[in-house]
Amino acid sequence: MTDELVGKVAIVTGGASGIGRATVTKLVAEGGKVVMGDLDPERGAEAIAEHGDAVVFLRTDVSDPAQVEQLVEHAVRTFGGLHVMVNNAGIPGKMHPSLLLDDLGDFHRVLGVNLLGVMAGTKFAARHMAEHGGGSIINVSSVGGLQAGGGVQTYRASKAGVIHFTKSAAIELAQYDIRVNCLAPGNIPTPLLTTSAAGMPPDKVERFAKAVRASMNNDRPLPREGEPEHVADAVVYLAGDRALYVTGTVLPIDGGTTAGKPLKKPEERKPAEQNSAEPSAMSRVNVSGPVTR
């Protein structure tokens, strides 16, 4: 640890679970104070129990801009400022067997959380930062926002929107020394990977989760599993002074998924720690279309 965030205040939306929760832990470990904005107060309380005074929780629905504005005000009131805004909260929406069967009923909910939530978080954080010497805004998109593929089209559209919005905001907010960057995680085991199966019988959810993971593993060149902490480390980098010259970027954290198809099938790859640099066989994985998230 470098204590590089001592004296900094951060907000993490969706901080109660998965990538957000790992991010809260890393920001606190670097000396930061964190306000978590999430729908889930129970898991929020767990984080407070773990980190004590360094973390506070405010129940927030990011799809409601008024609540996001209150979240920013709460951070400033509680810790005296706001330097880092992590717009991480996201939902996948329902998985439909086919676009033809999508009733579009999910559209407003998914876009409301994934895109409007990010836009509101950026706007209200930037309003404060612009008058207080700048800051760092980190939006969480997805490999699904970079790559087309079958399934969860509404999610993909929302995450693609986050990428374009991030770049546009970076250009406009640079004059205030506010940096705006975007992370595109892929294949990180968190509850999100089964959220879109909600409502299915438990055995189906399990089969669904296995199928999603298998498909995503097929797409990933690196032989190691992704972890929420891998994404959280990138947040720490973008939040701190090591990234002072970095804005408007999209950083995939996906084991190479968006770089291209792996040369070997997962079962042919050696475990990461034994891996040598030997050239691979020509055993390309035949994936019909990534189910990337």
Q: Residues interacting with ligand NAD, by CB under 6 A?
A: 13-14, 16-20, 37-40, 60-63, 88-91, 113, 140, 142, 185-188, 190-193, 195, 293
Query: Which C-beta is closer to ligand NAD: that of 80 or that of 266?
Result: 266
Query: Which C-beta is closer to ligand NAD: that of 57 or that of 79?
Result: 57
- Tokens 């797409």 locate to 219
Residue 18: CB minimum distance to ligand NAD, A: 2
Query: Which C-beta is closer to ligand NAD: that of 179 or that of 293?
Result: 293
Query: Which C-beta is closer to ligand NAD: that of 106 or that of 280?
Result: 106
- Tokens 């889930």 locate to 40
- Tokens 């066989």 locate to 281
Residue 102: CB minimum distance to ligand NAD, A: 18
Active-site residue set: 155
How far, in whole angstroms, is CA 46 from its chain's centroid? 20
Residue of 83, 113, 94, 98 whose CA lies nearest to 243:
83
Residue 175: CB minimum distance to ligand NAD, A: 28
User: Which tokens belong to 214?
Assistant: 């298998």
Distance (Å) of CA 106 to CA 36, 97, 155: 25, 14, 9
Query: Which C-beta is closer to ligand NAD: that of 18 or that of 149?
Result: 18
Residue 76: CB minimum distance to ligand NAD, A: 19
Residue of 87, 96, 95, 136 whose CA lies nearest to 115:
87
Residue 280: CB minimum distance to ligand NAD, A: 25
Rounded Cα–Cα distance for residues 100 and 168 (Å): 33
Strand order of the β-sheet with 55-59 is 55-59, 33-38, 9-13, 84-87, 135-140, 178-185, 250-253
